[in-house]
Chain A
Amino acid sequence: MGIMNRARIKSPWLLHFDCGSCNGCDIEILAALTPFYDVERFGIVNMGNPKHADVLLVTGPANHRNQRVLSNLYEQMPEPRRVIVVGTCGCTGGVFHNCPNVLGGIDRVIPVDVYIPGCAARPEAIIDGVVLALESIGAHGK
């Protein structure tokens, strides 16, 4: 593994976008950033800026309103980048699947690399998901 891959795995900066979830999974994501789980141990930092981010964490289902914002954020992230969906409603639509305004999972709008199911997903599962996404960067090298 080259030094670049090692650095990429050691330094994932997150962008967190809420597509209109019930907020349950957002709270779990933020819980992972508190001193109790302290994800900065792994070099993970929560960024508010797509231009600085390596990993996009999305919660909630895609709908007609937010798909534009979602793809805009995705396009502003420089490669290599990964998209992680947190929570069942982001994976498939979940409890919102038959709402008239809902398109379904996030993968209807942008390519998704890792799905983390759970309603709500646990912080441990979220950290595992980020690690999985990083391993895929390590494996592909881009």
Chain B
Amino acid sequence: MNTGWLIGTALIAVIAAPLIGGWLKGIDRRLTARMQGRWGPPLLQPFYDVIKLFGKNPMVAGRTQTVFAYAFLGLTVTAVVFFALRQDLLMLLFILFFGSLCLPLGALSVKSPYSQLGGHRELLRFLAYEPILLLAAVPIALKVDGFSITAILEHGEPLLPGLWLTFIALLIALAMVMRKSPFDVSSSEHAHQELVGGVVTEYSGPYLALIELGHWYEMVLVLSVLGLFWAAGSLWWLSIIIALLGWLVILLVDNISARLTWSSMLRFAWGAGIGLIALNIVLIHLGWM
């Protein structure tokens, strides 16, 4: 692999990821509306929203806040580039964590009580899903001998049959990453609920747009990690379908469930998520999977 090829791949990933993410978000809003008996916005609505936000006059509550918005986007994009270049899975997850941590830090840097409360809840959400994402790398590494994405792709057969327990745990984590019900304590996704946006209450205009873009990258990245479960072998295209199916399940659950309190969220995430992964590791060691 020469440098030109590497730069090309990274560029394509950086340009394509938000396009895919925004489009998925549009489908998400349309499907959600249909499930609620409404027609729903146009598919390009998320792009209109973000472009409009970039055109608003910047208004900030504090300088620090803006730094964290840029850092969130920058680090998430870095994680996507890491994925595109098939680097180390652990390293990628840590960069992603560091990026997501910028949101609560930004929220806690201003005095607004909504923002403060949102920041605290965001940290709790963190506590719930980060261990799942991190531990999910372990059974994968046991299967393919190493943490690099190249190793997963060069592994002769798909991972899903042996790691479906881990896959389910990752789905739970993905619902938390996307802040979907029942795991939406930190955001109250629509800004007319009790936290009026939570971590993003104090962000407006272009900075809100940066954060939204970051979320698109984040979502595409986690879906790509789901896709890795079928990426090896000849039927690699099935991985896209599997990732999208997982995403549809999360949308469905989002629309039929109410919000959990943070303590039940933590209990569920650690009990079910970490439990499934631990079971998977034990079964691998016993040679049953």
Contacts and interface: CB of A to CB of B under 8 A. Distances in A.
Contacts of B38: 35, 38, 40-41
A10 B33 contact: no
Contact of B196 (A8, A41, A48): A48
B74 to A, nearest CB: 23
Interface string A67-95: 00000000010111000000000000000
B41 A47 contact: no
B40 interface: yes
A78 B54 CA distance: 11
B36 interface: yes
Nearest to A37: B38
Given A41-B41, A46-B192, A52-B191, A7 B204 contact: no
A45 interface: yes
B27 to A, nearest CB: 14
B197 A52 contact: yes
Contacts of A42: 41
Interface in B23-54: 29, 33, 36-42, 45, 47-49, 51-52
A110 B227 CA distance: 53
B1 to A, nearest CB: 37
A51 interface: yes
A45 B40 CA distance: 11
Nearest to A41: B39
Contacts of B208: 52
A66 interface: no
B196 A7 contact: no
A108 interface: no
B66 to A, nearest CB: 14
A54 interface: yes
Given A48-B191, A51-B203, A78 B36 contact: no
Interface residues on A, range: 20 to 34
Interface residues on B, range: 20 to 34
Nearest to B45: A43
Interface in B122-174: none
B45 A10 contact: yes
B42 A43 contact: yes
Contacts of B58: 78
A38 B33 contact: yes
Contacts of B49: 7, 11, 43
Given A7-B52, A35-B37, A79 B57 contact: yes
Contact of A51 (B41, B42, B192, B202): B202
B204 to A, nearest CB: 4
Interface string B193-204: 100110011111
A54 B33 CA distance: 22
B59 interface: yes
- Which among B51, B190, B202 has the greatest number of chain A C-beta atoms within 10 A? B51
Contacts of B39: 38, 41
Interface string A1-37: 0011011101100000000000000000000000100
Contacts of B36: 35
B259 interface: no
Given A7-B49, A45-B190, A52-B197, 5 more contacts: A4-B55, A7-B51, A38-B39, A47-B192, A51-B202
21 contacts: A3-B51, A4-B51, A4-B52, A6-B48, A7-B47, A7-B51, A10-B45, A11-B48, A11-B52, A40-B33, A43-B45, A48-B197, A49-B191, A51-B201, A51-B202, A51-B203, A51-B204, A54-B52, A78-B58, A78-B204, A80-B56
